[in-house]
C-alpha cells in the first residue's frame, strides 16, 4: 500500500474469458504462483508493473524524509540505526525494481516515469519530517501501515513479487519497532519531549490512514486486482486493522490519537474512527502536497548528478573487458 | 542522462559453510566485481551469507514453461525411486 489507486484493467467473468485467460484465472484461484516466462493476461502484466513500480518508487522516495535526520540524530547509536533503516529502504526498492523487471520493463524506464511524474509514489512521503519525534512516528505509523499490507502480499499470485515481499517483511518489523522505541523514549522524557511525540502523532495520524487509499466504495480497481490476487484485502479492511492495532499502542505511550470521535464499538469488535480528509489526499496525489516538489526534485537531482558516475563505471567495465580480451589474444 | 543501462546479474549466496549457493535475486551492476560489491550490500545486510556468486542474467538458459510436462511428468510414475516404496519387515531392523 505503498501503492495507492493502482489502475487495473477491466474485469471479465469466467464465461467471457478466452480459454487461456480462464486457465490462468483457475491457476490463480488454486493458489499457484505465476512465474515470469509463463503466459499471463496483458492486463495482469500491466497492472503489476504499475503496482510494483509504484511500490518500488515509494521505498526509494521514502528514504528522503528519514534521510533528513541522519545528520541530526541525537546520538551516534541512533544515527547508526537510522542509517541502517534508510539503507534497508534502498534495498527494498531494489528488490521491487527487480521483480518489476521480470515483467519486461527496465529499471531505468521506471526511473524515467517517476521523474517525469508519469508514475506515482505513496502520498505519505509528501509530508515533511519536522522534528526527531517524526522519525519515531514514521517508523511506528508509516512502516506499521506498510506492514499491514505487505504481510498478506507475501501470498500474492506473482512469484517474484511474493518473494520480494517475503524478504521485505523480514526486515520491516525492525523498522516499526525502532520507530516505536523512539516514541517510547520521547513519551517518557521531559514534558517538551512528550509534547514533540504528541505533535508527531497529530501530524502523521491522518496521512497514515490515507496510505491505504480511498474507501472501497470509491475504489474502482479493487475487484480485478483481488481476483488476480495482487491485492489481498480491501482498503477499508486494512485501515480498520491498522486502527485497531495502533490505538492501544498509542494508549501505552500515553499519547492521544487526534480523533475526538474515536470509540471502541463493542458490537463490531472494532474502533469507530474518523476518515481522513480525502480532498487533501487527492491534492497530494495530484502533486500539491507540502513536499511533492522537493521530493521529486531531490530524486531528479540525484539521478542527473549521478549520470557521470554511472557512465564512468560503464566505461571502466568496457575498457577492462577489452583489456582482458586483448591479453587473452596475446597469450594464445 | 545515461542511455546505456547497467547489465542485470543473478545473485547466488551460500548461507552457511557446507550449504549450496542459492539464488536470492538479481541486481544491476557495470561489471562482475561491482555486482559482488552491490550484492553484499543488497543481499547480505544481516549476515545472510559467507560466499557470493554473480552470473550475468543473459548467461542463464531456462527451461520453457510449456516443456514442464515432458520434462517432469515421467518421474511421476517411478515411485520405486523412493526408499519408502519397499516394505522391509520390522524384524530386519533399521535400514
Which residue in A has a C-alpha nearest to residue B44's C-alpha?
Answer: A91
Residue A78: how many CB atoms within 10 A of its CB?
18
A107 neighbourhood in chain B, CB within 8 Å: 5, 28
pLDDT of residue A290: 96
Q: How far apart are CA A108 and CA A306, in angstroms?
A: 13
- CA distances to A321, A324, A331 from A327, rounded to whole Å, are 10, 5, 6
- For A144-168, b/e burial (b = at least 16 CB within 10 A) is bbbbbbbbbbbebbbbbbbbbbebb
Q: What is the pLDDT of residue A280?
A: 97
Q: What is the rounded distance in angstroms from the CA atom of residue B2 to the CA atom of residue A81?
A: 33
Nearest to B26 by CA among B62, B54, B61, B59: B54
| Nearest residue to A89 via CA among A127, A47, A121 | A121
Determine whether the interchain pair B2/A307 forms a contact, defined as Cβ–Cβ distance below 8 Å: yes
Q: Distance (Å, rounded) from C-alpha A237 to C-alpha A224? A: 17
State whether residue B37 is helix, strand or coil: helix
CB-CB neighbors (< 8 A) of B62 in chain A: 37
The C-alpha cell at B78 is 517411478
Number of Cβ within a 10 Å radius of residue A102: 19
User: How would you class A194 by CB atoms within 10 Å of its CB: exposed for 0-12, middle for 13-18, buried for 19 or more?
Assistant: middle
Q: Which CATH class is domain B1-60?
A: alpha beta
| Residues whose CB is less than 8 angstroms from the CB of residue A288 and which lie 6 or more positions away in sequence, other chains included | none
pLDDT tens-digit profile, chain A (332 residues): 577 777 766 677 778 889 999 999 999 999 999 999 999 999 999 999 999 999 999 999 999 999 999 999 999 999 999 999 999 999 999 999 999 999 999 999 999 999 999 999 999 999 999 999 999 999 999 999 999 999 999 999 999 999 999 999 999 889 999 999 999 999 999 999 999 999 999 999 999 999 999 987 766 678 889 999 999 999 999 999 999 999 999 999 999 999 999 999 999 999 999 999 999 999 999 999 999 999 999 999 999 999 999 999 999 999 999 999 998 887 77
Instruction: Classify A11 as helix, strand or coil.
Output: coil
- Interface contact flag, A37 B64, Cβ < 8 Å: yes
**Do the Cβ atoms of B4 and A314 come within 8 Å?**
yes
Domains in chain B: boundaries = 1-60
Most B CBs within 10 A among A310, A323, A324, hence the mutation to make, goes to A310
In this complex, is the C-beta atom of B92 within 8 Å of any C-beta atom belonging to chain A?
Answer: no
Would you say the pTM of this structure is higher than 0.90?
A: yes
Amino acid at each position: 500500500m505503498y501503492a495507492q489507486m493502482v489502475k487495473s484493467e477491466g474485469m471479465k467473468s469466467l464465461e467471457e474469458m478466452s480459454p487461456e485467460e480462464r486457465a490462468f484465472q483457475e491457476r490463480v484461484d488454486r493458489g499457484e504462483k505465476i512465474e515470469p516466462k509463463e503466459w499471463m493476461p496483458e492486463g495482469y502484466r500491466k497492472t503489476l508493473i504499475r503496482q510494483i513500480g509504484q511500490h518500488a518508487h515509494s521505498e526509494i522516495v521514502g528514504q528522503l524524509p528519514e534521510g533528513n535526520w541522519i545528520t541530526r540524530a541525537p546520538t551516534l547509536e541512533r544515527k547508526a540505526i537510522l542509517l541502517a533503516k534508510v539503507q534497508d529502504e534502498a534495498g527494498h526498492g531494489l528488490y521491487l525494481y527487480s521483480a518489476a523487471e521480470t515483467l519486461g520493463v527496465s529499471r531505468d524506464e521506471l526511473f524515467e516515469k517517476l521523474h517525469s511524474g508519469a508514475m506515482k509514489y505513496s502520498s505519505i512521503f509528501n509530508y515533511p519530517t519536522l522534528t526527531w519525534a517524526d522519525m519515531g512516528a514514521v517508523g511506528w505509523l508509516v512502516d506499521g501501515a506498510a506492514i499491514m499490507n505487505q504481510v498478506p502480499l507475501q501470498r500474492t499470485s506473482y512469484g517474484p513479487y511474493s518473494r520480494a515481499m517475503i524478504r521485505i517483511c523480514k526486515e520491516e518489523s525492525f523498522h516499526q519497532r525502532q520507530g516505536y522505541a523512539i516514541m517510547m523514549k520521547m513519551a517518557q522524557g521531559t514534558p517538551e519531549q512528550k509534547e514533540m511525540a504528541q505533535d508527531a502523532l497529530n501530524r502523521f495520524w491522518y496521512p497514515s490512514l490515507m496510505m491505504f487509499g480511498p474507501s472501497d466504495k470509491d475504489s474502482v480497481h479493487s475487484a480485478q486486482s483481488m481476483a488476480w490476487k495482487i491485492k489481498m484485502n480491501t482498503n477499508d479492511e486494512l485501515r480498520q486493522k491498522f486502527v485497531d492495532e495502533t490505538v492501544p499502542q498509542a494508549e501505552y505511550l500515553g499519547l492521544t490519537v487526534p480523533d475526538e470521535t474515536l470509540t471502541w464499538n463493542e458490537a463490531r469488535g472494532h474502533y469507530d474512527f474518523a476518515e481522513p480528509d480525502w480532498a487533501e489526499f487527492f491534492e497530494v496525489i495530484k502533486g500539491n502536497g507540502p513536499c511533492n516538489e522537493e521530493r521529486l526534485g531531490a530524486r531528479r537531482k540525484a539521478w542527473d548528478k549521478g549520470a557521470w558516475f554511472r557512465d564512468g563505471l560503464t566505461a571502466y567495465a568496457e575498457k577492462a573487458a577489452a583489456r582482458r580480451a586483448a591479453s587473452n589474444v596475446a597469450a594464445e | 542522462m545515461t542511455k546505456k543501462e547497467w547489465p542485470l546479474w543473478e545473485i547466488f549466496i551460500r548461507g552457511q559453510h557446507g550449504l549450496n549457493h542459492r539464488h536470492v535475486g538479481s541486481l544491476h551492476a557495470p561489471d562482475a566485481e561491482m555486482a559482488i560489491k552491490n550484492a553484499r550490500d543488497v543481499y547480505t545486510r544481516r549476515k545472510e551469507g559467507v560466499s557470493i556468486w554473480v552470473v550475468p542474467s543473459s548467461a542463464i538458459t531456462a527451461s520453457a514453461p510449456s516443456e514442464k510436462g515432458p520434462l517432469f511428468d515421467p518421474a511421476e510414475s517411478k515411485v520405486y525411486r523412493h526408499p519408502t516404496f519397499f516394505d522391509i519387515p520390522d524384524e530386519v531392523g533399521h535400514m
